Chain A
Amino acid sequence: MTELMVTPYAPYRDGIANYAVQEVAAARAAGRDMEVLSPLPSAAQHHLRLGSALGMGRLIRAARRYDRVVLQLYPELLFGACRGRRERLAVWGLLRVLCSVTKVELRIHEIEYDEPAADPQARRLGHAALSAAAAVTVHTAPEQQRLTEAFDLVTGAVSLVDHGVNFARRTETTREDARESLGVPGDAFVFLSIGFVQRHKGFDRGVRALDRLDDPDGRVRIYVVGDIRIDHPDLLDYREELESLCRHVDGAEFRPGYVSDEEFDRWLVAADCLVLPYREIWSSSVIERAGIYGVPVIATDVGGLAAQAPAGSRVVADDDALAEAMAEVAGLSLGAGSTRDVTEVPREQAAIQRLIRERADDGGRAPLEADRLHHTPRASTDSARPGVPQAKRLIARITAWQVEPVAGHLDEVIDRLRTDLRRLDERVEHLEHGERD
């Protein structure tokens, strides 16, 4: 039997790619004839641009040659390049066709629930596609239930697969060696938040929680390890917010940059406790990997994390519980100098709105001005109009040789300005301290 897995794939750094590699390795080790098709060029045998009706059409053609196809499914894979509702509906329809040409397993990592809730036709077509698949699988019971309800599927149509069933160790290093190689003090108590930096992962919550611990010896540290996927303004904002936060919280350290699978695991080995303060998530590979190394986890109660968390984990409801759990794990108490927000929240909508605006404009609360300086944004090639993205990309290519050096130099100027502003900020702080002393 020949099988095809459709998935992001190595050497791309991506949670689903990482997951898929381990499944492919296990399948091939078991003697199964499995090939891979990825949406971007990678180590896969095949690649196709997906995310549109055309892409799905091509996938149907490719899938005919295989006895079984597994789609590691997330919204971008199906709809990433769609130009509107009609095309999205067409993709659902074509997914139904794909499920009829061969045996298809839809391994769902993430799906947009707003769509079937708001659009009956999308729900109908989604229902048809999911019902036609040979298998629909998810990782946790909450996902199973939500998916079943969202698409009116029959009970039992969605089954569970163990998220970490194919996960294997990627390092044999010791804790001491791991810490030494990563520049982590050997005697520190180390909390770790690791993964792509996105606001919904809430890494800032862990840092703020650390700031509430009463740690007179400065023994406890939190490392935020990872980086943004793309230079999107929202992601850049969040990364800079995290950087700024980590600079101002004793014991917090942000380690931006590319993290390989091996280094990822080395961080887990080096950590005393993994902190996953996600604001939203379906399921987490990181929890599964922590389980391989027996690293305790503190996670927020979102998505299927409670179901995934290994025995001994602490699943917390809110920021207070997060701080309390971290204090308990580190053998500390919550400090008096808590940074907990004690603002009294008004009950009227207009007052709340005003308060939000005021807080957003409050220089004291906002990140440093230096952190608001961004690199020069490159022109977006996105557009819903047919042909426009292609034309924009063409123009970008043609003009890149002129634009890029200028933009690059501007970025350099911005970097220097940021540095100067930070130095200025430090000097002001120093002077203020001096005056107080």
Chain B
Amino acid sequence: MTGTSTDRSGTIALVPPRYGPEVVGGAEAVISETAHMLAARGWEVEILTTCARDHFTWANEYPAGTSRDGDVTVRRFETQTDTPGVHRKVLGDRLLSGVRLSLAEQQLWMNDSLRVSGLWHHVLDHGASYRAIVLAPYMFWTTFAVGQIRPERTILMPCLHDEPAAYLDIYQPLFSGARGIFFLSDPEAELAERLFRLPARTEVVGSAITLPESYDPDGFRARHGIDGPFVYYAGRREWAKGWTELLDAFRRVHRSAGLRLVTSGVGEVELPAGLPADRVLDLGFVSDDERNDAMAAAAAYVQPSALESFSRTVLEAWGAGTPVIANDASEVVRWHVQRSGAGVTYRSEQELMEALTLVGADPDAFGAMAAPGRDYVVEHYDPTRIGDRFDQLLLEWTSPLSGTGSPPVADRAAR
């Protein structure tokens, strides 16, 4: 773009609540991808994050301190989870039941889970040394609290979806006060426009999807002893992600459809009564390659979550040539499906059961629907193009630091 500086001096901090190869989460994956794309384009990039791997316990599993992940510096800070969590639970239940929380209650709710004093004070002490501080996703304490320290340098990557928490007053200034906002999709941006007064700088950037050069579906089947058609779900196996809904529907059709359900990710796989254990294969946490091979081997990929801000796994499934069955309540996934034509959505358990039945009835016919999926991913989410866009926006929206602009040093805050 004419007139835009190409000076990439100054450090970009990216702040996810968790970071690491074993961390499962869409927002965390987007941050990781973005960090490496920016580093590859000559930016000095730091990840400021916690020592936690599990977003339920927030236990400190990684060591605190500084390490390297390729070209990216990672600074980890210990979480504090020393509150009983009663406010979080009770107020969270009220929130889910549609009750309006007062400001004081909203703040109690926010501070009654993980807190990361070291990270917060690191940004308090060194925030001025960062050219930009990119925070994601919107809902976590790390984003909420850190976003208030240097809003003029804060770029929010909210990963927003339509859920009760998004309507809390405490998030208003996080959105309105940020220097800029990166959205992952048009529906996410439209939702944000409905809920918040947005700053002047916003952009739907998308998220890079790196597709493997090849897939090994046969190898996957052989490694896990799978023959016959199966549907696949990868991600967090928890109620909020629609996992229990998927299990219920699957329980009712698995025999007639002649399908197995293969799943990977984190969270407990608790089978409902009436669903034989041999019909569900839990791979636990798997590598990216193994997940890609599972995608390629599956007759369909199921996305039961209504709370998606981008849904990388849906795009990865299309990259592997696999059709998608997705929850219509997720605006962004419905948007992907409508644009690509490479899947179907369901609006009720009955519709999900019908979709699963169709997969089992004729996997090849169902699979033909996936044909335009890969082109859709390549056309819209090519890593080079997405990386260039992030790069360009950072150049446009931020300025090199005056003075020395030296990167922050490891300090007492990490203690």
Contacts from A to B (Cβ < 8 Å) = 10-13, 21, 24-25, 28-29, 33, 40-45, 47, 170-172, 177, 180-183, 227-231, 257-263, 266, 375, 397, 400-401, 404-405, 407-408, 411-412
Contacts and interface: CB of A to CB of B under 8 A. Distances in A.
A257 B169 contact: yes
B222 interface: no
A170 B152 CA distance: 8
A44 B117 contact: yes
A262 B173 contact: yes
Interface residues of B, number: 45
Given A45-B117, A404-B93, A258 B152 contact: no
Contacts of A263: 172-173, 176-177
B111 A42 contact: yes
Contacts of A231: 102, 104-105
Contacts of A375: 100
B260 interface: no
B379 interface: no
A404 B99 contact: yes
Interface in B94-150: 94, 97-100, 102-108, 110-112, 115, 117, 120-121, 124-125, 141, 144-145, 148-149
A257 B171 CA distance: 10
A266 B112 CA distance: 29
A260 B148 contact: yes
Given A12-B111, A171-B151, A262 B177 contact: yes
A41 B112 contact: yes
B107 A260 contact: no
Contacts, number: 118
Nearest to B119: A43
B83 A41 contact: yes
Interface in B179-209: 197, 199-200
Interface of B: 80, 82-83, 86, 90, 93-94, 97-100, 102-108, 110-112, 115, 117, 120-121, 124-125, 141, 144-145, 148-149, 151-152, 169-170, 172-174, 176-177, 197, 199-200, 412
A257 B172 contact: yes
A24 B82 CA distance: 23
Contact of A404 (B94, B103, B108, B124): B94
Contacts of B99: 404-405, 407-408, 411
B86 A258 contact: no
B94 A408 contact: yes
Given A183-B197, A258-B173, A40 B151 contact: no
A258 B169 contact: yes
B341 to A, nearest CB: 39
Contacts of A13: 103, 107
- Closest 6 pairs between A and B when the two form their complex, measured CB to CB: A260-B173, A408-B99, A262-B151, A262-B177, A43-B120, A11-B145
B110 A28 contact: no
Given A11-B107, A397-B90, A404-B93, 7 more contacts: A13-B107, A25-B124, A43-B145, A170-B151, A172-B152, A263-B172, A266-B177
Contacts of B80: 41
A18 to B, nearest CB: 10
Given A43-B120, A260-B148, A400-B90, A28 B125 contact: yes
A258 B151 contact: no
A227 B184 CA distance: 32
Interface centre among B90, B99, B112 (most CB of A within 10 A): B99
A424 B125 CA distance: 55
Contact of A41 (B82, B97, B152): B82
A171 B93 CA distance: 36
Interface centre among B100, B103, B172, B412 (most CB of A within 10 A): B103
A408 B99 CA distance: 5
A182 B102 CA distance: 22
Nearest to B177: A262
Nearest to B86: A397
30 contacts: A10-B145, A11-B107, A11-B141, A11-B148, A12-B107, A13-B107, A21-B124, A28-B121, A29-B125, A41-B82, A41-B112, A43-B117, A170-B152, A171-B177, A227-B103, A231-B102, A231-B104, A258-B106, A258-B169, A258-B173, A260-B148, A261-B151, A262-B148, A262-B151, A262-B152, A262-B177, A263-B172, A263-B173, A266-B177, A397-B90
Contacts of B173: 258-260, 262-263
A261 B172 CA distance: 12
B148 A10 contact: yes
A405 B125 CA distance: 44
B94 A400 contact: yes
A43 B121 contact: yes
Contacts of A400: 90, 93-94
Contact of A230 (B104, B120, B152, B174): B104
